[in-house]
């Protein structure tokens, strides 16, 4: 994963409540997420007791995903309105989830917001991704893409005609 490092030395030396604002446009490189283009947004870094608070806003990114119906690769734009994390010098006393704690590099007085952005992108992935509202998907019998090929498969009846499609009918027998 590519590092997205911000030097926070000037914020650390300032009084609590002081902040700095940055705009960024970064070419992403995450192992587990395929992105199309750059990530852009704004970052506010505020001095808090024991570390800094990072507020990321108006993050724009495009994710490469597969259409849920036809498996074609598509690019889906995402907008993350805001995301906020705290970065600490030491583990906080009221420690929550170990994976949700971010640390300041004490040696260089810098923070890496890469993992923070990766988590937010994953949380904002679309539930359903389709290449178009008229996508016909794959044929369930031969597997051909019905958007580009007209297959000769007939709609097959999944159950014989004499059997009713009542999957919970067995429960009636158990209740008696």
pLDDT for 3: 73
pLDDT for 74: 94
CA gap 57, 121 in Å, rounded = 13
Least confidently predicted of 91-100, 136-145, 158-167: 158-167
Share of the chain above pLDDT 90, in %: 53
What are the domain boundaries of the chain? 5-123
* pTM of the predicted protein model: 0.75
Q: Do the beta carbons of residue 76 and residue 129 sit within 8 Å?
A: yes
Question: What SS3 state is found at 41?
Answer: strand
pLDDT for 29: 80
pLDDT for 85: 93
pLDDT greater than 70 at residue 164: no
Query: What one-character DSSP code corresponds to residue 14?
Result: S
């Amino acid at each position: 994963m590519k590092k997205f490092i911000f030097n926070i030395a000037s914020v650390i030396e300032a009084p609590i409540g002081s902040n700095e604002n940055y705009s960024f446009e970064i070419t992403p490189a995450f192992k587990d997420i395929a992105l199309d283009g750059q990530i852009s947004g704004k970052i506010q870094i505020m001095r808090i007791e024991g570390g800094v608070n990072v507020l990321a806003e108006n993050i724009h990114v495009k994710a490469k995903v597969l259409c849920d119906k036809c498996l074609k690769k598509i690019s889906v734009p995402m907008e993350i309105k805001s995301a906020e994390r705290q970065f600490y010098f030491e583990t906080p006393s009221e420690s929550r989830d170990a994976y949700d704690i971010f640390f300041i590099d004490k040696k260089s007085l810098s923070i890496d917001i890469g993992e923070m952005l990766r988590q937010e992108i994953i949380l904002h992935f679309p539930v359903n991704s389709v290449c178009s509202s008229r996508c016909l998907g794959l044929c369930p019998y031969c597997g051909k893409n019905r958007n580009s090929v007209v297959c000769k498969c007939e709609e097959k009846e999944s159950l014989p005609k004499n059997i009713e499609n009542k999957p919970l009918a067995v429960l009636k027998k158990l209740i008696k």
